[in-house]
Structure 1
Amino acid sequence: MLVKSKQSSRLVCLTMTGNQWHCTADAAKLRTFSTKDTGWGFGQFIKRKDLEESPYLRDDVFSIRCDVTVSKEIFTEPIPQHVVVPPSNMHHHLGQLLLAGEAADVTFEVGEETFAAHRCILAARSPVFKAELLGPMKEKTATRVLIDDMEARVFKALLHFIYTDSLPAMDEGGAAEIAQHLLVAADRYDMERLKLICEGKLCDHICKSTVATTLALAEQHGCGALKKACFKFLMSPGNLKVVMESDGYEHLRSSCPSVLDELVAKLAP
């Protein structure tokens, strides 16, 4: 404790053991105490009689001020992880449900093939399927739905994505072609994530034999990034000359003439 005289601003430090005070008048010295110390207080002492006769005690009253600073180290340790949670495998379960066809309540006829599916899952993944299968449209009560403007392999890949949120394994040689058809299907059924995935794959597969049809596809289905990538490829005079001699260029010119005008404007100096 620090003792302050009413007649003086001088501070002294006091501790007491039994009837004896431990005292130092040098309050400027600080002492650090820890649990390792065998004793507390200072090594200088004052008798009670001497304290009572000192100027620090007036009318049996003296002031005490204690300044205590506690230093404590903070230890942070990682909390042991006793429970290991595996990654989600829901897509595997849904994929198996699609393959097994268990509890399927709607069948799609696509070309020569049929696909059993669950209308609630299709509706949850696509607002178009939701309107067709759960809305007031004729397919609401139908158990068989005919799709005559899509290849069976494309519809199969579409169902795989709907149930597993991923594309099926595809041969590298036919990846660009299937991505083109899937992009059309994704746009038709309003599945934006699938559409963007296909757009990204097509951006990586632009070549002289596919750029014209890919550009037409990008224009017709509002794929800005894919359209930009095609323009960048065609900005090379060598690439443009070869493409202009291809059948794909004729298709592009007949189906999307405005795109060629835009390309010419970009090529103009």
Structure 2
Amino acid sequence: MEVSKNAYYLVNDVLRAAKLYKLPSLAQLCRERLFSASPSSLFGGGVEALAGLEEIAEQDEKFSDKNSEDDPHKQVEIPGGSARTLNDDMKFALSDEVWADTVLIAEGHRIPVHRCMLVARSEYFRAVLAFRRSSTHLTTEAQVSNAMAVVNVEDSYAGIVRVLRFIYYDQVVLPSLNRKDAKGDSDGVEQEAERAEGAVNDYLAEEASDQLLEDLVAADKYRLERMKRLCEHAICVTVANCLEVLAVAELVHAAHLKQVAMRFVQTHLAQITAREEEFRRFQKDFPPLLEELYASLRDASREEFLLRIVH
């Protein structure tokens, strides 16, 4: 019983700290824990139990009154009436420059970031920042910690921002395929609108593919395995992009995506070879991959032949 009682007081102390430091999510968890406890199991029941609860409530009330005198903004406004999540706070951290201790430079843009996040999430940044730390001539630990690190990255500005969004709150930015529907009053206008809509959809699909392939390469570069797998499974293989997808998958060792692209080429071989310029460029730039593709086609044809014999 004594352990439970001590735990009750401990949770109550954490609740006070949560109020002091404006942590509404933690405060709510503490309240739920306090309300779920049985007073009789903590303080022995009867008058003793009520006295124990009254003591805690009295202490909490004194703390709240003191805190309200020190800080007039006692109530924290939560958007939508709900407590902030960890992702909400991490999104705020990414946009906050006050505590930033590192700057990434991409296409001339300066992006303030936090060294601890880069080191914790990316092996690439861990190695880069560790090298900078070991090669610096600063003499004290405080000087090393307070020095602003500057890292130039070769990625596009939009691309590195998407990488940072994943590093901070574990989300991959999927391309938007939304577009306004074209409408017409006559048959001719409607047909023209349909053609325009098809062109827009093709363009958006190509843009989406380019973005996800760029993010896949970036995830491989920065050693973000989860981001790499998410991009790998989000890419849609089409006749227009299958050869490029196959080449990128080979480059970054994305086995699943490579297998999907190989099967797609086998199924749509006539349409793909009809795009002569693209296919010739693929033959020239990726001869080993082309040989592997031919081998997979031969194996597939052999399997199909054997199945026909059996059946």
After the TM superposition, which residues 46-195 of structure 1 pair with which residues of structure 2 at under 5 Å, given as runs?
89-135=85-131, 136=133, 143-147=149-153, 149-168=154-173, 170-172=175-177, 173=204, 174-195=207-228
Q: Secondary structure at the match of 2:175?
A: coil
Question: What's the offset of the Cα at 1:92?
Answer: 1.5
Query: Judging changes above 3 Å, is the alpha-carbon distance between structure 1 residues 218 and 240 closer, same or farther for their aligned structure 2 residues?
Result: same
Structure 2 residue 255 is matched with structure 1 residue 221: no
Q: Which amino acid aligns with 1:166?
A: Q
Query: Judging changes above 3 Å, is the alpha-carbon distance between structure 1 residues 227 and 87 closer, same or farther for their aligned structure 2 residues?
Result: farther
What is the CA RMSD across the aligned residues, in angstroms? 2.6
Within 2, Cα distance between the matches of 1:133 and 1:232?
A: 41
Aligned match of 2:265: 234
Within 2, Cα distance between the matches of 1:186 and 1:168?
A: 12
Gaps of 5+ in 2: 1-32, 37-81, 137-143, 178-203, 302-311
Q: TM-score, normalized by length of structure 1? A: 0.61
* Larger strand proportion of the pair: 1
1:226-267 Cα deviation digits (max 9, x unpaired): 111111111123333234x143x3443333211110111122
Structure 2 residue 279 is matched with structure 1 residue 252: no
Indicate conservation of the 8 Å contact 2:101/2:148, yes or no: no
Question: What's the offset of the Cα at 1:218?
Answer: 0.5
Q: Which amino acid aligns with 1:240?
A: I
Q: TM-score, normalized by length of structure 2? A: 0.54
Query: Judging changes above 3 Å, is the alpha-carbon distance between structure 1 residues 250 and 142 closer, same or farther for their aligned structure 2 residues?
Result: farther
Gaps of 5+ in 1: 1-80
Question: What's the offset of the Cα at 1:106?
Answer: 0.8
Indicate conservation of the 8 Å contact 1:107/1:117, yes or no: yes
Indicate conservation of the 8 Å contact 1:208/1:239, yes or no: yes
